[in-house]
A and B are shown apart, each in its own frame.
Chain A
Amino acid sequence: MPHHPGAMETRKANMSTVQQETFDIIAKQAKIDIATIKPESTLKDLGIASLDAIEVLFDLEEHFNINLPNEDTDFDNGTVGQLVEAIERQIALKGAEG
């Protein structure tokens, strides 16, 4: 596969934007300092449980205008990094269908 540095750079920039926006939304909903959120944190680690976690997912769905399947939203063991990946997958799917 030919190396295509331009596309790679764009993808990286998008990733960091999605991650940044996801962290912003989590920090706002959970009322925590954004600096405490790491990609390896689980929502549970961040003290976001039960309905608060479901609200975070709803805020993310509204913000990115996507649907996050239940399979991608394991509150206890899933990390924030995995959540960002799931969001990116759904954004890509939307783009492909769009």
Chain B
Amino acid sequence: MGDLGPAIDDAARLEALRRTCLLDSPPEEAFDRLTSLATSVLRVPVAYVSLVDDRRQFFKSQRGLAEPLAAARETPLSHSFCRHAVESREPLLVPDAREHPTLRHNPAVSEHGIIAYAGIPLITSGGHALGAFCVVDRAPHAWTPEEIEVLRVLARSAVSEIELRGLAAELTSLSAHLQTLVESRTTELRASEERLRVLLDVNNAVVTCLDRASLFEAATVALARVIPFDRAALVLRDPVRDVFTVLGVAGPVPSPPVIPLGTEWPHTGSRSGWILDNGRPLLTPDLREAPSFFEHELLVREGILSAISVPLTVKGRIIGTLNTGSRVPGRYTEDDASLLLAIGEQIALAIENLLAYEEIATLKARLEEEKLYLQEEAKAEAAFGDVVGGSRAILGVLEGVRKVADTDSTVLVTGETGTGKEMIVRALHDLSRRKDKILVKVNCAALPAGVIESELFGHEKGAFTGALSRKLGRFELAHGGTLFLDEIGDLPGDLQAKLLRVLQDGEFERVGGTRTIKVSVRLVAATNRDLAQAVAEGKFRADLFYRLNVFPIHIPPLRERLDDVPRLVRHFVMLYAAKMGKQVGPPSDAVLSRLSAYAWPGNVRELQNVIERAVILSSKGRLEVADLEAPTAGPSAHRAGRSLEDVEREHILSVLETTGWRVSGDRGAAKILGLKRTTLEARMQRLGIVRPAAGSGNGGRQPA
């Protein structure tokens, strides 16, 4: 009687019982109604609905039980009759328990006075016997089939109620489960919304930033709101040189910083390099452990122990990395990495915008400068046209020009002042592959020393007092074209060094700037000094001289090619006559021979000026070439007070002296002055010019 049958402790049955949630539950009217009905219809004193688990039987509803049983609402299994009905799954009908072979020993008989018992097992649709519907009499009772039928009906009602309870409980549980799901989903959505809001904030903060400093600041402020860091850095990639530079660093930076701004590091062996190669975030819980990139040692030295790095991607290209670091090892999770990646996308877009803007701004500034420069040039254009001359000397020069023009070689043009170096330079440019690009000229002697560096290399805003905005230098202006440095011997020493670097590496920094600018410029330099001598005297850098002297072109002075003079004269006469709209006849042989006899210390330019003046002074189509005198003949100031007549008299006198007072003939004064003999004689008379008597030496002046 003490042993539990297999049915009682069956796990499935007990689970089914538990799910009803009826064990230890308060009495309910639905069940009480049934037990009440049972007692009145069957005229018995006791009726109950019992639920039997593995330890006890619990009275869900009872009617007629005596105290203390009624209050306890349960009895141990040893006292239970119902358990047998549950085990057998058959109605248990006991007319007189005292006569029953096993039940007569059940304590309930003596303790509770149970004599007659009828119990119908409560079997659910799931097939589990959970308990029983019972009636008890305190006197022997022979249970009739009708009575048993009534019990069965009542038992079925009880089962229905039980099942209903089960369903209700299940419904509640499902509902609670649903509630939980909804809540968790809502939390997820809110987190997602929050994340999108963060990204939007980041986007708004950075996308309008058009300079590097404010972009970085806005980015780190936004970042700090969602990801904790002790150090953050934006790293940009230079695809041409395959190095990374730090755009900005946030967080307390030791002074001096271990990794200063502008530091460059290579692709291989760096975190950023790894990210470039693998295209995904790098999450490092402890920087002291492998794999080691060389940033790790530097960061650990600053106390940063964990880090995340994510790629900054625009249109599938990785343009840099976004990095955060913490003093706490293992600070970051995969979620942090994915958030950082998303933020990185916004920042990448902003950087792309910024770089494009910078490029546009640079190009625009260059175009503006080019425009201004060309406008100035157009005004100052000397109507040279082309190089004139057929002498061997000049043909040699032109041959040299032809040979070197189309290469990108540096050319050094030497020659005295006025030999036409600028024309040679222009010819070099026009025959080169850069002929459709700009030719920029800088006169190193004309610029004050303090300004020349800024003129050549540009300056950043605020680089010095007066630097109100960024200015592009001549080198940048000449990018893609030719730069002509005239009078290069006058370049100050410190600039010689900077120029040398540009010639060697093609790069420089603007005054007050840190950014290295790269240019492609073909350099042509000119000087009228002896640079070799200047090098010997220590006034010019030897290494720069050798760099410049790659292909020297020397223009001989005019006095070494006097046979070019007639051609030059005719050319200039034609040039100025056309320019001034005057009809001028060709220069006479006399004029040409006179001009060819002169030494021309000022070279072609002097000749040009003389001819220009002659054309201005020409009348009736006849060229008036004034007297040629050496510059050392005295200042012209004291001549200002003389009349035209005086000038004419002196001129005729000096010519007569040259010819030995010969007036007519091929070597006579008349021919040289371009006058008929009779005209000259008349003029001499008018001006009172008389040949002095031999030995008088008074210059032939006779009082009028």
Asked if chains A and B come from one complex, the reply is no
